[in-house]
Amino acid sequence: MNVLAELGDRIARARTITVLTGAGVSAASGVPTFRGKDGWWRQFRPEDLATAEAFQRDPALVWEWYAWRREKIARCEPNAAHHVIAQWSQREGCRVVTQNVDDLHLRAGTRNLIRLHGSIWEMSCWDACGQRAWRDERRLDAGRPLPIPRCPACDGLARPAVIWFGEALEPADLYAALDACTCDLFLTVGTSAVVYPAAGLAREAKRRGSFTVEINPDETPASAAVDLTIRGAAERVLPDLSRI
Ligand code: BV8
Ligand code: ZN
Protein backbone atom coordinates (compact mmCIF):
# COMPACT_ATOMS: atom_id res chain seq x y z
CA MET A 1 0.00 0.00 0.00
CA ASN A 2 1.58 3.37 -0.86
CA VAL A 3 2.20 6.00 1.77
CA LEU A 4 -0.77 8.19 0.84
CA ALA A 5 -3.13 5.22 0.76
CA GLU A 6 -1.82 4.07 4.16
CA LEU A 7 -2.37 7.53 5.62
CA GLY A 8 -5.80 7.84 3.97
CA ASP A 9 -6.72 4.54 5.60
CA ARG A 10 -5.49 5.79 8.99
CA ILE A 11 -7.54 8.98 8.61
CA ALA A 12 -10.63 6.95 7.80
CA ARG A 13 -10.10 4.67 10.82
CA ALA A 14 -8.97 7.27 13.39
CA ARG A 15 -11.46 8.07 16.14
CA THR A 16 -9.63 11.28 17.03
CA ILE A 17 -7.48 13.43 14.75
CA THR A 18 -5.58 16.64 15.45
CA VAL A 19 -4.21 18.84 12.67
CA LEU A 20 -1.52 21.44 13.52
CA THR A 21 -1.02 24.05 10.80
CA GLY A 22 1.54 26.74 10.03
CA ALA A 23 2.05 29.35 7.34
CA GLY A 24 2.68 26.69 4.66
CA VAL A 25 -1.05 25.89 4.63
CA SER A 26 -1.79 29.50 3.56
CA ALA A 27 1.10 29.74 1.08
CA ALA A 28 -1.07 28.63 -1.86
CA SER A 29 -3.55 31.39 -0.95
CA GLY A 30 -0.80 33.97 -1.45
CA VAL A 31 -0.14 34.71 2.24
CA PRO A 32 3.63 35.22 2.74
CA THR A 33 5.22 32.57 4.97
CA PHE A 34 7.49 33.73 7.80
CA ARG A 35 10.74 32.09 6.92
CA GLY A 36 10.30 31.82 3.21
CA LYS A 37 11.90 34.36 0.88
CA ASP A 38 8.65 36.40 0.95
CA GLY A 39 8.68 36.66 4.75
CA TRP A 40 10.73 39.86 4.82
CA TRP A 41 9.18 43.33 4.75
CA ARG A 42 11.54 46.14 3.78
CA GLN A 43 14.75 45.22 5.63
CA PHE A 44 12.93 43.51 8.52
CA ARG A 45 12.39 39.85 9.44
CA PRO A 46 9.18 38.97 11.31
CA GLU A 47 11.18 38.37 14.51
CA ASP A 48 12.35 42.03 14.35
CA LEU A 49 8.82 43.44 14.37
CA ALA A 50 6.58 40.83 16.02
CA THR A 51 7.66 41.85 19.53
CA ALA A 52 6.37 44.16 22.27
CA GLU A 53 9.77 45.87 22.33
CA ALA A 54 9.47 46.80 18.63
CA PHE A 55 5.96 48.14 19.23
CA GLN A 56 7.11 50.10 22.28
CA ARG A 57 9.97 51.57 20.24
CA ASP A 58 8.04 52.37 17.06
CA PRO A 59 4.32 51.56 17.06
CA ALA A 60 3.83 53.30 13.70
CA LEU A 61 6.43 51.06 11.99
CA VAL A 62 4.93 47.89 13.47
CA TRP A 63 1.46 49.01 12.44
CA GLU A 64 2.71 49.67 8.90
CA TRP A 65 3.92 46.06 8.72
CA TYR A 66 0.60 44.73 10.02
CA ALA A 67 -1.37 47.01 7.68
CA TRP A 68 0.73 45.68 4.76
CA ARG A 69 0.02 42.08 5.83
CA ARG A 70 -3.69 42.78 6.41
CA GLU A 71 -3.92 44.30 2.97
CA LYS A 72 -2.29 41.21 1.42
CA ILE A 73 -4.34 38.73 3.45
CA ALA A 74 -7.62 40.60 2.71
CA ARG A 75 -7.08 39.68 -0.97
CA CYS A 76 -6.46 36.00 -0.21
CA GLU A 77 -8.99 33.19 -0.22
CA PRO A 78 -8.83 29.86 1.60
CA ASN A 79 -7.20 27.22 -0.63
CA ALA A 80 -7.87 23.49 -1.11
CA ALA A 81 -5.86 22.63 2.01
CA HIS A 82 -8.07 24.86 4.18
CA HIS A 83 -11.21 23.34 2.66
CA VAL A 84 -10.12 19.74 3.31
CA ILE A 85 -9.15 20.59 6.89
CA ALA A 86 -12.50 22.36 7.37
CA GLN A 87 -14.27 19.23 6.06
CA TRP A 88 -12.31 16.98 8.45
CA SER A 89 -13.11 19.37 11.32
CA GLN A 90 -16.84 18.57 10.93
CA ARG A 91 -16.01 15.02 12.16
CA GLU A 92 -16.51 14.22 15.82
CA GLY A 93 -13.07 14.06 17.47
CA CYS A 94 -11.21 16.21 14.93
CA ARG A 95 -9.49 19.33 16.28
CA VAL A 96 -7.45 21.92 14.41
CA VAL A 97 -4.62 23.88 16.06
CA THR A 98 -3.28 26.74 13.99
CA GLN A 99 -0.32 29.07 14.41
CA ASN A 100 -1.64 31.24 11.58
CA VAL A 101 -3.19 34.62 12.30
CA ASP A 102 -4.79 35.07 8.85
CA ASP A 103 -8.18 33.58 9.85
CA LEU A 104 -8.35 31.60 6.58
CA HIS A 105 -9.28 28.44 8.54
CA LEU A 106 -12.25 30.34 10.02
CA ARG A 107 -13.28 31.63 6.58
CA ALA A 108 -13.15 28.04 5.28
CA GLY A 109 -15.65 27.02 7.97
CA THR A 110 -13.30 25.09 10.26
CA ARG A 111 -14.87 23.90 13.53
CA ASN A 112 -13.04 23.28 16.83
CA LEU A 113 -10.27 25.68 15.83
CA ILE A 114 -7.60 26.54 18.40
CA ARG A 115 -5.77 29.74 17.34
CA LEU A 116 -2.47 29.64 19.21
CA HIS A 117 -1.20 33.05 18.06
CA GLY A 118 -4.41 35.11 17.77
CA SER A 119 -5.73 36.95 14.73
CA ILE A 120 -4.38 39.77 12.57
CA TRP A 121 -8.01 40.97 12.27
CA GLU A 122 -8.38 41.54 16.02
CA MET A 123 -6.92 44.24 18.25
CA SER A 124 -6.29 44.71 21.97
CA CYS A 125 -5.52 47.75 24.08
CA TRP A 126 -1.78 48.37 24.34
CA ASP A 127 -2.37 50.57 27.36
CA ALA A 128 -3.89 47.51 29.05
CA CYS A 129 -7.22 49.07 30.04
CA GLY A 130 -8.52 45.55 29.63
CA GLN A 131 -10.21 46.04 26.26
CA ARG A 132 -9.21 42.89 24.35
CA ALA A 133 -9.50 41.14 21.01
CA TRP A 134 -12.07 43.30 19.32
CA ARG A 135 -12.46 42.79 15.57
CA ASP A 136 -11.26 45.62 13.31
CA GLU A 137 -10.97 44.97 9.58
CA ARG A 138 -10.17 48.48 8.40
CA ARG A 139 -7.83 48.46 5.43
CA LEU A 140 -5.13 50.67 4.01
CA ASP A 141 -6.72 53.73 2.39
CA ALA A 142 -5.16 54.69 -0.92
CA GLY A 143 -1.87 52.99 -0.11
CA ARG A 144 -1.21 55.10 2.98
CA PRO A 145 -0.77 53.22 6.29
CA LEU A 146 -3.69 53.21 8.69
CA PRO A 147 -3.57 55.94 11.32
CA ILE A 148 -2.46 54.05 14.44
CA PRO A 149 -5.69 52.47 15.70
CA ARG A 150 -6.91 53.60 19.11
CA CYS A 151 -8.66 51.71 21.88
CA PRO A 152 -12.42 52.43 21.83
CA ALA A 153 -12.56 52.28 25.65
CA CYS A 154 -9.65 54.46 26.77
CA ASP A 155 -8.41 56.00 23.50
CA GLY A 156 -4.98 54.50 24.22
CA LEU A 157 -2.93 52.79 21.50
CA ALA A 158 -4.39 49.61 20.01
CA ARG A 159 -2.09 46.70 19.14
CA PRO A 160 -2.69 43.66 16.93
CA ALA A 161 -4.28 40.93 19.07
CA VAL A 162 -1.56 38.41 18.19
CA ILE A 163 1.01 36.67 20.39
CA TRP A 164 4.40 38.27 19.82
CA PHE A 165 7.77 36.64 20.41
CA GLY A 166 8.51 36.70 24.11
CA GLU A 167 4.80 36.83 24.99
CA ALA A 168 3.04 33.94 26.66
CA LEU A 169 0.26 32.18 24.80
CA GLU A 170 -3.23 32.45 26.28
CA PRO A 171 -3.27 29.62 28.88
CA ALA A 172 -6.66 28.35 27.66
CA ASP A 173 -5.36 28.03 24.09
CA LEU A 174 -2.16 26.30 25.19
CA TYR A 175 -4.05 23.84 27.36
CA ALA A 176 -6.52 23.13 24.56
CA ALA A 177 -3.61 22.50 22.17
CA LEU A 178 -1.91 20.17 24.66
CA ASP A 179 -5.19 18.35 25.24
CA ALA A 180 -5.49 17.93 21.46
CA CYS A 181 -2.15 16.08 21.51
CA THR A 182 -4.07 13.12 22.96
CA CYS A 183 -5.38 11.72 19.70
CA ASP A 184 -5.09 8.66 17.47
CA LEU A 185 -3.58 10.64 14.57
CA PHE A 186 -1.61 13.93 14.69
CA LEU A 187 -0.89 15.73 11.42
CA THR A 188 1.54 18.65 11.38
CA VAL A 189 1.06 20.53 8.12
CA GLY A 190 3.05 23.44 6.68
CA THR A 191 5.10 24.52 9.65
CA SER A 192 8.86 24.93 9.97
CA ALA A 193 8.61 23.63 13.56
CA VAL A 194 10.97 26.29 14.96
CA VAL A 195 8.62 28.44 17.04
CA TYR A 196 7.78 27.15 20.50
CA PRO A 197 5.60 26.03 22.17
CA ALA A 198 3.79 25.08 18.92
CA ALA A 199 6.93 23.37 17.60
CA GLY A 200 6.88 20.92 20.50
CA LEU A 201 3.32 19.66 19.93
CA ALA A 202 4.16 16.88 17.45
CA ARG A 203 6.66 15.37 19.89
CA GLU A 204 4.11 15.71 22.71
CA ALA A 205 1.51 13.90 20.61
CA LYS A 206 3.98 11.10 19.85
CA ARG A 207 4.84 10.86 23.53
CA ARG A 208 1.15 10.41 24.24
CA GLY A 209 0.93 7.55 21.74
CA SER A 210 -0.40 9.31 18.60
CA PHE A 211 0.65 8.24 15.12
CA THR A 212 2.35 11.44 13.96
CA VAL A 213 2.66 12.65 10.38
CA GLU A 214 4.40 15.68 8.86
CA ILE A 215 3.19 17.13 5.54
CA ASN A 216 5.70 19.64 4.20
CA PRO A 217 7.72 20.01 0.98
CA ASP A 218 10.85 20.51 3.09
CA GLU A 219 12.48 18.74 6.00
CA THR A 220 12.05 20.40 9.40
CA PRO A 221 13.38 19.80 12.94
CA ALA A 222 10.21 17.76 13.55
CA SER A 223 10.83 15.40 10.61
CA ALA A 224 13.06 13.02 12.56
CA ALA A 225 10.56 12.77 15.40
CA VAL A 226 7.38 11.91 13.47
CA ASP A 227 6.27 8.44 12.37
CA LEU A 228 5.64 9.38 8.73
CA THR A 229 6.76 12.30 6.57
CA ILE A 230 5.01 13.23 3.33
CA ARG A 231 7.13 15.58 1.23
CA GLY A 232 4.56 17.64 -0.62
CA ALA A 233 2.44 20.78 -0.75
CA ALA A 234 -0.58 20.85 1.54
CA GLU A 235 -2.91 22.07 -1.21
CA ARG A 236 -2.06 18.98 -3.25
CA VAL A 237 -1.53 16.29 -0.59
CA LEU A 238 -4.64 17.02 1.50
CA PRO A 239 -7.13 16.83 -1.42
CA ASP A 240 -5.42 13.58 -2.53
CA LEU A 241 -5.88 12.19 0.98
CA SER A 242 -9.51 13.29 1.15
CA ARG A 243 -10.24 11.36 -2.07
CA ILE A 244 -8.94 8.06 -0.67
C1 BV8 B 1 6.88 32.11 24.51
C2 BV8 B 1 2.17 35.81 15.62
C3 BV8 B 1 7.36 32.31 26.78
C4 BV8 B 1 2.63 37.17 15.32
C5 BV8 B 1 4.10 34.36 15.89
C6 BV8 B 1 13.79 34.37 23.81
C7 BV8 B 1 12.89 35.14 24.53
C8 BV8 B 1 11.55 34.80 24.66
C9 BV8 B 1 11.07 33.67 24.03
C10 BV8 B 1 11.97 32.93 23.30
C11 BV8 B 1 13.31 33.23 23.20
N12 BV8 B 1 13.92 32.28 22.42
C13 BV8 B 1 13.01 31.39 22.02
C14 BV8 B 1 11.84 31.76 22.56
C15 BV8 B 1 10.60 31.15 22.37
C16 BV8 B 1 9.97 31.77 21.14
C17 BV8 B 1 10.48 30.97 19.95
O18 BV8 B 1 10.11 29.84 19.81
N19 BV8 B 1 11.35 31.61 19.14
C20 BV8 B 1 11.91 30.93 17.99
C21 BV8 B 1 12.12 31.93 16.85
C22 BV8 B 1 13.20 30.26 18.40
N23 BV8 B 1 8.54 31.61 21.32
C24 BV8 B 1 7.84 32.60 21.86
O25 BV8 B 1 8.30 33.70 22.14
C26 BV8 B 1 6.41 32.24 22.18
N27 BV8 B 1 6.14 32.60 23.53
O28 BV8 B 1 7.76 31.32 24.40
O29 BV8 B 1 6.53 32.66 25.68
C30 BV8 B 1 6.81 33.06 27.90
C31 BV8 B 1 6.19 32.34 28.93
C32 BV8 B 1 5.72 33.04 30.01
C33 BV8 B 1 5.82 34.44 30.05
C34 BV8 B 1 6.41 35.14 29.00
C35 BV8 B 1 6.92 34.45 27.91
C36 BV8 B 1 5.47 33.01 21.28
C37 BV8 B 1 5.71 32.60 19.84
C38 BV8 B 1 4.64 33.22 18.96
C39 BV8 B 1 5.27 34.24 18.03
N40 BV8 B 1 4.23 34.75 17.13
N41 BV8 B 1 3.13 34.86 15.12
C42 BV8 B 1 2.41 37.52 13.86
O43 BV8 B 1 2.07 36.64 13.05
O44 BV8 B 1 2.59 38.70 13.53
S45 BV8 B 1 5.15 33.20 15.29
C46 BV8 B 1 5.09 33.03 13.61
O47 BV8 B 1 6.06 32.04 13.25
C48 BV8 B 1 3.81 32.46 13.10
O49 BV8 B 1 2.68 32.73 13.84
C50 BV8 B 1 4.04 31.00 13.09
O51 BV8 B 1 3.34 30.46 14.14
C52 BV8 B 1 5.44 30.83 13.49
C53 BV8 B 1 6.06 29.65 12.81
O54 BV8 B 1 6.08 29.90 11.45
P55 BV8 B 1 5.44 28.80 10.48
O56 BV8 B 1 3.97 28.89 10.59
O57 BV8 B 1 6.04 27.47 10.70
O58 BV8 B 1 5.88 29.41 9.11
P59 BV8 B 1 7.33 29.38 8.47
O60 BV8 B 1 7.39 30.44 7.43
O61 BV8 B 1 8.37 29.37 9.55
O62 BV8 B 1 7.39 27.94 7.77
C63 BV8 B 1 6.48 27.65 6.73
C64 BV8 B 1 6.61 26.16 6.47
O65 BV8 B 1 5.67 25.81 5.46
C66 BV8 B 1 7.98 25.75 5.96
O67 BV8 B 1 8.38 24.57 6.63
C68 BV8 B 1 7.74 25.44 4.47
O69 BV8 B 1 8.55 24.38 4.02
C70 BV8 B 1 6.31 25.00 4.50
N71 BV8 B 1 5.57 25.20 3.26
C72 BV8 B 1 5.74 26.16 2.32
N73 BV8 B 1 4.80 26.01 1.34
C74 BV8 B 1 4.04 24.93 1.70
C75 BV8 B 1 4.52 24.43 2.92
N76 BV8 B 1 3.97 23.36 3.54
C77 BV8 B 1 2.91 22.78 2.93
N78 BV8 B 1 2.39 23.20 1.76
C79 BV8 B 1 2.92 24.28 1.13
N80 BV8 B 1 2.40 24.70 -0.05
ZN1 ZN C 1 -7.85 50.79 26.28
The domains of the chain are located at 1-31+77-117+169-244, 32-75+119-162
The residue nearest atom 29 of ligand 1, judged by CA position, is 168
How far from the centroid of its chain's Cα atoms is residue 163's Cα? 11
Residues pairing with 187 in the sheet: 19, 213
Quick one: which of 115, 153, 137 has its CA closest to 70? 137
- Long-range Cβ contacts of 131-136 (<8 Å, 24+ apart): 132/161, 133/161, 134/161
Q: Which residues, by Cβ under 5 Å, contact ligand 2, an ion?
A: 125, 129, 131, 151, 153-154, 156
Residues pairing with 95 in the sheet: 18
Q: How many whole angstroms separate alpha carbon 188 and alpha carbon 216?
A: 8
pTM: 0.96
Q: Does 3.30.1600.10 match the CATH number of domain 32-75+119-162? A: yes
The residue nearest atom 24 of ligand 1, judged by CA position, is 165
| CATH code, 1-31+77-117+169-244 | 3.40.50.1220
What confidence tens digit (pLDDT) does each residue in 99-156 have? 999 999 999 999 989 999 999 999 999 997 988 889 988 876 656 666 889 999 999 9
150 alpha carbon – ligand 2 mean position (Å):
8
Q: How many whole angstroms separate alpha carbon 164 and alpha carbon 161?
A: 9
Backbone angles phi, psi at 114, to 5 degrees: -110, 115
List the Cα angle 240/30/4 in 5-degree steps.
15
Element (H, E) at 117: none
Provide the 10 A C-beta neighbour count for residue 170: 17
DSSP strand E in 58-112: where? 94-98
Q: How many whole angstroms separate alpha carbon 89 and alpha carbon 242?
A: 12
Ligand 1: list residues with CB < 6 Å: 22-24, 27-28, 33-36, 39, 47, 50, 99, 101, 117, 162-168, 190-192, 194-196, 198, 216-218, 220, 233-235
Element (H, E) at 55: helix 52-57
Q: What is the pLDDT along the chain (244 residues), one digit of tens a residue?
A: 689 999 999 999 999 999 999 999 999 999 999 887 778 888 889 999 999 999 999 999 999 999 999 999 999 999 999 999 999 999 999 999 999 999 999 999 999 899 999 999 999 999 979 888 899 888 766 566 668 899 999 999 999 999 999 999 999 999 999 999 999 999 999 999 999 999 999 999 999 999 999 999 999 999 999 999 999 999 999 999 998 8
What 8-state DSSP symbol labels residue 149? P
Cβ–Cβ < 8 Å for 131, 115? no
Specify whether 105 is catalytic.
Answer: no
Provide the 10 A C-beta neighbour count for residue 128: 12
